């Protein structure tokens, strides 16, 4: 047993012999000020949930993208000063010399593969609450950023910056730029997007100043211009200076001299940065979920930038298709293809295109579990790529697998996300894999759910894995094969994995958050009844205490089918957890468009087949609702009967080994099932168990970070 060789060709010197001719343009080097990106693949700054607390996890996460061919690899937001403190959300820092070493780990890792390292220097302005530093948030005019109220709710309003506050921020940017150079970064950012400080100066809603930084557009761009200038003074010829800017709101604003204020800002600053990194204004539109926003959704907002500046332009759009990328370049929309989610789901996307293996791209499904990880305050997780965030601590590589030294066979029962992922990983490790699925097609819950409104892209979880398995010679795949104990044993495999999923129940919700007794009225349905078209009745209630996407999607679906649908949930919002995945505002729009009435903070007490008894969760005020049926999207139970019977039938500590995976082990989201299947298959061959715990790099005695 030994790890296979690491063979990596730096992006700059890799050949294009196998690349599709029309995709070769993606591999042209691009000059960015004094530095040169080896190709047009640019991993734009994105949150990773990785901070100075886990520098090795962070370096390995970013390194994998450089290894996979991304010509530029960026950090997430790096705070320049304690007055930009986003806690409890995770953020990185360059507050003093002590922070340099952990970033140097990342830049060295990126440089090993010939890629450029970019740092997103960031001041959050009024969009942060400084909960740890307890400094007053800074803002041009003392106006809170709107999303701060509705989103992460804080009570502290920002102070209005004096001119000496402005000078101070410019000085902090200068110091942070200096530290960034010491850490080895090649591209230094100024951030004027997403409600952060530079953005607040640009927008008249947040900037009411009457001095040289407020009023007409020329004044409102001044702060951003000066931030760029101090960064340039520090960077000299050692690094490029990039401007990251949100253009959605500005583009909607008419301007006296320009086509819009966005056109004005880009014209006024056209040749000040070396690179324009252009984006939308809020996370739900910038990092839009595939349910509601297609690939390339940014183009109508940012398409003018390249015509307005001769500096290179990078932008995103959840691009996964090389043809779409090439079209962005050929049509003069972008110079560099920005990827955040595309690079998380498949760090090797550029390499696969270069090697003419586009079919092998593990395409992002746009579920936004990655951004939910940041909202959760933890390192990134990805539905499609179970290795994201696990590169260092578990040694998981997205494309390399330890080959087994001894022939071994594995039977997997269940062809949902957990079973399929386990099959892919085990087959790549050289095991002989058999996978059996009781239904006529692969994908389990993903297949059913992907047929619901807006969910088609999620099918990629199934399609990618089925495609990989179909290419491998050591995999036998059987559909229409429900296995019982005897059938499972008859395969005579060394290992058996049970990935039989979970079933939705008719259990109710109790205020103690424990599922109470099921409702047994015949007109009470589960999501499985929706998939198999069992749901009858004109007027339907969807009662959701799963609180993620499915209850809302099923309400949409039933309304589209012509039912009159009411949605009720004990939570404070419809599909409440989709706040974490940037979907919440669009869920409301979708339900409104289909006339779905919404009751929140509402429990379902009883149903007699004609009338549902609802009750406000807090004040117990009752409501009666005449409905013909109820779909409960609430509690799931593992479908583990086969496992239990096999477990009882098999002798202890003798082959075959027996394991439960995915929802059959612990019902969760698809990301959990994929991770479970992946980890199980790795454990069959790799000796290490558990994971390494990262530690901060401590080089100095604790220092003061904001001496007055
Ligand atoms: P997970 O998310 O954990 O992969 P899913 O519910 O998506 O779980 O998938 C489980 C799959 O297992 C389903 O496609 C289901 O049809 C299949 N399955 C359940 N029981 C059996 C069985 N006894 N034999 C074969 N397949 C089964
Ligand atoms: Fe894409 Fe979902 Fe992975 Fe994020 S978590 S990169 S949205 S597949």
The three state secondary structure string of 148-199 is HHHCCCCCCCCEECCHHHHHHHHHHHHHHHHHHHHHCCCEEEEEECCCCHHH
Q: Measuring from each residue's beta carbon to the nearest atom of ligand 2, which residues come in under 6 Å?
A: 341, 344-345, 364-370, 382-384
Q: Is the pLDDT of residue 3 over 60?
A: no
Averaged pLDDT, 334-347:
97
Least confident of 417-426, 496-505, 551-560, 689-698: 689-698
Please tell me if the CB atom of residue 642 comes closer than 6 angstroms to any atom of ligand 1: yes
Q: Is the pLDDT of residue 514 over 80?
A: no
Residues in the chain: 708
Please tell me if the CB atom of residue 415 comes closer than 6 angstroms to any atom of ligand 1: yes
Give distance in angstroms: CA of 437 to centre of ligand 1. 7
Please name the residue whose Cα sits nearest to atom 2 of ligand 2.
367
pLDDT tens for residues 290-324?
Answer: 999 888 888 888 899 999 999 999 999 888 899 99
Q: Is the pLDDT of residue 146 over 80?
A: no
DSSP string of 23-36, one letter each residue:
GGGGG--EEETTEE
> Of 340, 384, 580, which is best to mutate to test ligand 2, by the most ligand atoms within 8 angstroms of its C-beta?
384
Q: Interhelix angle for 163-183 vs 100-111, to 10°?
A: 50
Give distance in angstroms: CA of 177 to centre of ligand 2. 31
Ligand at minimal distance from the CA of 363 is: 2
Helix (H) or strand (E) holding 224: helix 222-235
pLDDT tens for residues 591-602?
Answer: 999 999 999 999
Ligand at minimal distance from the CA of 582 is: 2
Give distance in angstroms: CA of 365 to centre of ligand 2. 6
The whole-angstrom separation of Cα 417 and Cα 460 is 11
The whole-angstrom separation of Cα 199 and Cα 147 is 13
Residue 536's CB is within 10 A of a number of other CB atoms, namely 13
Nearest ligand 2 atom to alpha carbon 342 = 6
Give distance in angstroms: CA of 290 to centre of ligand 2. 10
Give distance in angstroms: CA of 416 to centre of ligand 1. 6
Owner of token pair 């962005």: 328
Residue 54: closest CA among 340, 397, 383, 378: 378
Nearest ligand 2 atom to alpha carbon 365 = 8
- Report the DSSP beta bridge partners of residue 42: 72, 338
The whole-angstrom separation of Cα 434 and Cα 457 is 27
Averaged pLDDT, 535-560:
98
**Which tokens belong to 267?**
């014209």
Residues 187/242, Cβ–Cβ less than 8 Å: yes
Q: What is the mean pLDDT of the chain?
A: 94
Least confident of 46-50, 512-516, 653-657: 512-516
Please name the residue whose Cα sits nearest to atom 3 of ligand 2.
382
Please tell me if the CB atom of residue 457 comes closer than 6 angstroms to any atom of ligand 1: no
The whole-angstrom separation of Cα 653 and Cα 672 is 27
The three-class DSSP label of residue 555 is: helix
> Of 47, 293, 295, 367, which is best to mutate to test ligand 2, by the most ligand atoms within 8 angstroms of its C-beta?
367
Angle value at C-alpha 281, between 195 and 187, nearest 5 degrees: 80
User: For residue 6, what pLDDT is reported?
Assistant: 39
Ligand at minimal distance from the CA of 387 is: 2
**Which tokens belong to 400?**
């390399």
- Report the DSSP beta bridge partners of residue 122: 79
Band of pLDDT at residue 12, cut at 50, 70 and 90 = low
The whole-angstrom separation of Cα 321 and Cα 342 is 10
Nearest ligand 2 atom to alpha carbon 388 = 3
Averaged pLDDT, 467-494:
97
Residue 653's CB is within 10 A of a number of other CB atoms, namely 6
Which sequence positions are flagged as catalytic?
196
Please tell me if the CB atom of residue 449 comes closer than 6 angstroms to any atom of ligand 1: no
Angle value at C-alpha 672, between 427 and 364, nearest 5 degrees: 75
Residue 637: closest CA among 659, 658, 665: 665
Band of pLDDT at residue 650, cut at 50, 70 and 90 = very high
Beta pairing, strands 116-122 & 539-544:
unpaired
Please tell me if the CB atom of residue 416 comes closer than 6 angstroms to any atom of ligand 1: yes
Q: Is the pLDDT of residue 237 over 60?
A: yes
User: For residue 152, what pLDDT is reported?
Assistant: 54
Band of pLDDT at residue 637, cut at 50, 70 and 90 = very high
**Which tokens belong to 563?**
């039912």
Averaged pLDDT, 191-218:
97
Please name the residue whose Cα sits nearest to atom 5 of ligand 2.
382
Q: Which pTM was predicted? A: 0.96
Averaged pLDDT, 111-139:
96
Nearest ligand 2 atom to alpha carbon 318 = 1
> Of 442, 499, 646, 668, which is best to mutate to test ligand 1, by the most ligand atoms within 8 angstroms of its C-beta?
499
Task: State the number of CA atoms in the 13 A half-sphere of 97 facing the CB.
Answer: 5
Q: Interhelix angle for 584-593 vs 549-560, to 10°?
A: 20
pLDDT tens for residues 392-414?
Answer: 999 999 999 999 989 999 999 99
Higher pLDDT, 639 or 512: 639
Give distance in angstroms: CA of 450 to centre of ligand 1. 16
Give distance in angstroms: CA of 380 to centre of ligand 2. 10
User: For residue 1, what pLDDT is reported?
Assistant: 31
pLDDT tens for residues 37-57?
Answer: 999 999 999 999 999 999 999
Nearest ligand 2 atom to alpha carbon 340 = 6
Q: CA of 36: how far to CAs of 15, 31, 39, 74, in Å?
A: 18, 4, 9, 15
> Of 291, 344, 373, which is best to mutate to test ligand 2, by the most ligand atoms within 8 angstroms of its C-beta?
344
Owner of token pair 């936004």: 368
Residue 86: closest CA among 44, 122, 124: 124
Give distance in angstroms: CA of 273 to centre of ligand 2. 30
């Amino acid at each position: 047993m030994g790890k296979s060789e690491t063979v990596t060709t730096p992006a700059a010197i890799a050949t294009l012999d196998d690349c599709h001719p029309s995709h070769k343009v993606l591999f042209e080097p691009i000059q960015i000020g004094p530095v040169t990106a080896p190709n047009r693949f640019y991993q734009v700054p994105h949150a990773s949930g990785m901070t100075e607390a886990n520098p090795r996890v962070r370096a390995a996460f970013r390194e994998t993208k450089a290894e996979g061919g991304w010509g530029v690899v960026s950090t997430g937001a790096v705070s320049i000063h304690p007055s930009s403190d986003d806690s409890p959300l995770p953020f990185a820092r360059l507050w003093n010399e002590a922070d340099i070493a952990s970033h140097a780990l990342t830049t060295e890792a990126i440089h090993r593969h010939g890629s450029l390292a970019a740092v997103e220097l960031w001041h959050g302005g009024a969009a942060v609450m400084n909960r740890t530093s307890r400094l007053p948030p800074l803002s041009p005019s003392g106006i809170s950023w709107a999303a701060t109220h509705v989103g992460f709710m804080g009570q502290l309003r920002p102070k209005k910056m004096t001119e000496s506050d402005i000078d101070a921020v410019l000085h902090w940017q200068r110091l942070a730029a200096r530290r960034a150079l010491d850490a080895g970064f090649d591209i230094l950012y100024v951030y004027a997007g997403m409600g952060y400080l530079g953005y607040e100066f640009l927008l008249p809603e947040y900037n009411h100043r009457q001095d040289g930084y407020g009023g007409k557009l020329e004044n409102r761009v001044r702060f951003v211009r000066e931030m760029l200038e101090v960064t340039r003074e520090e960077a000299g010829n050692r690094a490029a200076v990039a401007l990251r800017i949100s253009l959605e709101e500005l583009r909607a604003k008419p301007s006296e001299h320009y086509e819009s204020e966005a056109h004005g800002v880009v014209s006024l600053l056209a040749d000040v940065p070396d690179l324009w990194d252009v984006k939308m204004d809020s996370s739900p539109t910038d990092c839009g979920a595939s349910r509601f926003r297609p690939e390339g959704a940014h183009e109508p907002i940012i398409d003018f930038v390249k015509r307005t500046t001769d500096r290179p332009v990078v932008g995103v759009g959840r691009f996964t298709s090389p043809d779409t990328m090439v079209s962005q370049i050929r049509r003069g929309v972008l110079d560099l293809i920005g990827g955040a989610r595309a690079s998380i789901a498949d760090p090797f996307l550029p390499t696969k295109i270069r090697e003419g293996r586009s079919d092998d791209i593990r395409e992002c499904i746009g579920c936004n579990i990655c951004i939910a990880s940041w909202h959760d305050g933890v390192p990134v997780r990805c539905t499609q790529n179970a290795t994201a965030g696990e590169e260092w601590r578990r040694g998981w590589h997205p494309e390399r697998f330890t080959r087994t030294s001894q022939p071994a066979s594995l039977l997997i029962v269940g062809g949902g996300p957990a079973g399929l992922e386990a099959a892919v990983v085990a087959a790549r490790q050289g095991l002989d894999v058999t996978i059996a699925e009781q239904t006529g097609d692969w994908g389990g819950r993903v297949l059913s759910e992907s047929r619901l409104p807006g969910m088609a892209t999620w099918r990629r979880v199934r399609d990618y894995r089925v495609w990989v398995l179909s290419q491998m010679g050591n995999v036998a795949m059987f559909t229409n094969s429900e296995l019982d104990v005897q059938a499972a044993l008859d395969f005579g495999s060394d290992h058996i994995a049970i990935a039989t999923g979970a079933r939705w129940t008719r259990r109710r919700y109790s205020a103690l958050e424990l599922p109470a007794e099921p409702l047994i009225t015949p007109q009470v349905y589960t999501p499985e009844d929706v998939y198999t078209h069992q749901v009858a009745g004109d007027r339907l209630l969807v009662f959701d205490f799963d609180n993620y996407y499915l209850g809302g999607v099923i309400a949409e679906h039933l309304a589209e089918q012509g039912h009159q649908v009411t949605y009720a949930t004990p939570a404070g919002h419809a599909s409440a957890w989709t706040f974490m995945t940037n979907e919440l505002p669009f869920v409301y729009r979708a339900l409104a468009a289909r006339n779905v009435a919404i009751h929140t903070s509402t429990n379902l007490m009883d149903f007699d087949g004609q009338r549902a008894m609802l009750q406000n969760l807090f004040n117990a005020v009752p409501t009666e609702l005449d409905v013909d049926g109820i779909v409960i999207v609430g509690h799931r139970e593992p479908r583990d009967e086969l496992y239990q019977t096999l477990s009882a039938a098999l002798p202890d500590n003798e082959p075959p080994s027996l394991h439960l995976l995915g929802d059959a082990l612990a019902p969760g989201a698809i990301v959990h099932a994929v991770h479970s299947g992946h980890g199980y298959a790795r454990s069959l061959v790799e000796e290490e168990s558990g994971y390494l715990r990262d530690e901060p790099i401590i080089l100095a005695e604790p220092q003061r970070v904001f001496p007055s």
